[in-house]
């Protein structure tokens, strides 16, 4: 029977990594892999995490199972940063659980809404590819709308999508640092979105995978908090992979907000049951390290300072690209107003190939670049290559 399985296409990003790794040119540039890099091209472990890990090694006295909900200290310590310090549980209406990364959180959230009877998920296009892949695997229909037009968020498309929403629909929204476009909603647009979502009665699923990498920890949570104030129920998917640098440790959380606190035990029991059937219990190490950072005032301060440094470096790269203005046949100016790791440059497929073959610069076929792959040492090389290929 196994021989009846059909061959699946290779993951495009993994194939891109292989192409870059086998390129012998010393000046090649990798703008494809979605991880933060320093000005020297490294992806280091946070010093705050290193200190927490040392403490964990010294003090952890057991590797016994924690249960499908994972490290609840980790889950609770994150809540003031996500939901606000004044009322992090929204009056007892929010509860969470640990998941294997942001992907595990999304998988769990979408499985929960499928179990609850939701049939369709409204998703902006383009989106992170795994959003649609997880929906397809669960048998959820995806209704797409254009996320951006003319270098800005396409609010008309979002309004139309919500106006046509039906009972049993959910909407998946990026909380900040949109992947892959870098184009976020403004605060004023989030104010309107919160009202529209509440009026449409769709269930919001909010994906907050890059908090702190856009404009700041508080600023990046604005939209999520506005939506939660406006609606009775929501699911929040959170990742620590980027803002704590825990990529390979797969550290995330899922939070549910109920209309009535009395509903939370029943809602979370479904999350626990689905987790048990999928991964049984989440990996502990990354979550324990984050918890230790957030329990220690000095380590928390150190972590936030490291996060500030990351954000400022990416903003400097964006400013440098924007200052180049019209370069060849494309305008790089909008990149300066975008947020997070990613932006899309409107290359044709042929131009993407030319950037690789002629200049050794690798990024996704969609034109999505990871701006953190650029440094003050290679950014002029990149700008010159753009001018050459698109001019």
Residue 178, domain CATH: 3.40.640.10
Q: Is residue 300 part of a domain?
A: no
For the entire predicted model, the pTM comes to 0.96
The answer on pLDDT for 335 being more than 90 is: yes
| Domain extent for 214 | 65-295
For 191-244, the pLDDT digits (tens) are 999 999 999 999 999 999 999 999 999 999 999 999 999 999 999 999 999 999
Looking at the structure, do residues 376 and 317 belong to the same domain, yes or no? yes
290 plus 315 within the same structural domain: no
Which helix (DSSP H) or strand (DSSP E) does residue 190 occupy? helix 187-200
CA distance to 116, 200, 364, 385, per residue, from 328 (Å): 51, 44, 20, 9
Domain boundary among 295, 320, 349: 295
144 vs 126, 159, 207, CA distance in Å?
A: 9, 12, 16
- The rounded distance, in Å, linking the Cα atoms of 184 and 223 is 10
| pLDDT at position 12 over 90 | no
Query: Do 213 and 246 share a domain, yes or no?
Result: yes
- For the chain, the domain total comes to 2
Residue with structure tokens 């996500």?
Answer: 82
What's the token pair of residue 328?
């060849």
Best CA proximity match to 188, nearest among 213, 164, 153, 161? 153
Q: Would 254 be classed as within a structural domain?
A: yes
Q: Report the Cα 268 to chain-centroid distance in Å.
A: 23
* Structure token pair of residue 174: 């990026």
- How far, CA to CA in Å, does 10 sit from each of 13, 16, 17? 9, 10, 12
Cβ 162 vs Cβ 171: under 8 Å: yes
Tell me: pLDDT of 9 over 90. no
CA distance 310 to 288: 23
Residue 4 lies in a domain: no
What are the beta bridge partners of residue 29?
A: 361
Please give the positions annotated as active site.
128, 207, 242
Chain mean position to CA 327: 29
Which residue, 295, 323, 349, sits at the end of a domain? 295
Give per-residue pLDDT as tens, 254-305.
Answer: 999 999 999 999 999 999 999 999 999 999 999 999 999 999 999 999 999 9
Burial level of 217, CB count in 10 A (0-12/13-18/19+)? middle
Which pLDDT does position 17 carry in this prediction? 86
- Looking at residue 10, what is its pLDDT? 80
């Amino acid at each position: 029977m196994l021989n009846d399985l059909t061959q699946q296409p290779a993951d495009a990003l993994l194939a891109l990594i292989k192409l870059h790794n086998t390129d012998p040119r010393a000046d090649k540039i990798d703008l494809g892999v979605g991880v933060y890099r320093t000005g020297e091209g490294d992806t280091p472990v946070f010093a705050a995490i290193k200190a927490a890990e040392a403490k964990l090694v010294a003090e952890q006295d057991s590797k016994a199972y924690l249960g499908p909900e994972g490290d609840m200290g980790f889950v609770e310590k994150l809540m003031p940063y996500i939901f606000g310090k004044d009322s992090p549980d929204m009056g007892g209406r929010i509860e969470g659980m640990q998941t294997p990364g942001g992907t595990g959180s999304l998988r769990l959230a979408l499985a929960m809404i499928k179990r609850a009877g939701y049939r369709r998920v409204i998703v902006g296009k383009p989106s992170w590819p795994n959003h649609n892949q997880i929906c397809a695997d669960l048998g959820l229909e995806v209704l797409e709308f254009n996320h951006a037009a003319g270098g800005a968020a396409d609010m008309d498309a979002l309004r139309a999508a919500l106006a046509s929403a039906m009972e049993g629909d959910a909407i998946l929204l990026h909380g900040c640092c949109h992947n892959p476009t870098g184009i976020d909603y403004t605060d004023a647009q989030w104010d309107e979105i919160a009202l529209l979502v509440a009026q449409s009665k769709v269930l919001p699923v909010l994906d907050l995978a890059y908090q702190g990498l856009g404009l700041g920890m508080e600023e990046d949570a604005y939209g999520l908090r506005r939506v939660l104030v406006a609606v009775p129920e929501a699911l929040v998917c959170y990742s620590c992979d980027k803002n704590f640098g825990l990529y390979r440790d797969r550290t995330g959380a899922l939070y549910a907000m109920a209309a009535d606190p009395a509903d939370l035990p029943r809602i979370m029991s479904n999350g626990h049951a689905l987790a048990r059937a999928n991964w049984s219990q989440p990996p502990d190490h990354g979550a324990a390290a984050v918890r230790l950072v957030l329990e220690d005032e000095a380590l928390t301060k150190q972590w936030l300072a490291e996060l500030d440094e990351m954000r400022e470096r990416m903003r400097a790269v964006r400013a440098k690209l924007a200052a180049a203005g019209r370069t060849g046949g494309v305008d790089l100016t909008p990149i300066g107003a975008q947020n997070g790791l990613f932006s899309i440059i409107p290359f044709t497929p042929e131009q993407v190939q030319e950037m690789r073959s002629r200049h050794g610069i690798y990024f996704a076929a969609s034109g999505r670049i990871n701006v953190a792959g650029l440094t003050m040492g290679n950014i002029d090389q990149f700008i010159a290559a753009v001018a050459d290929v698109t001019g």
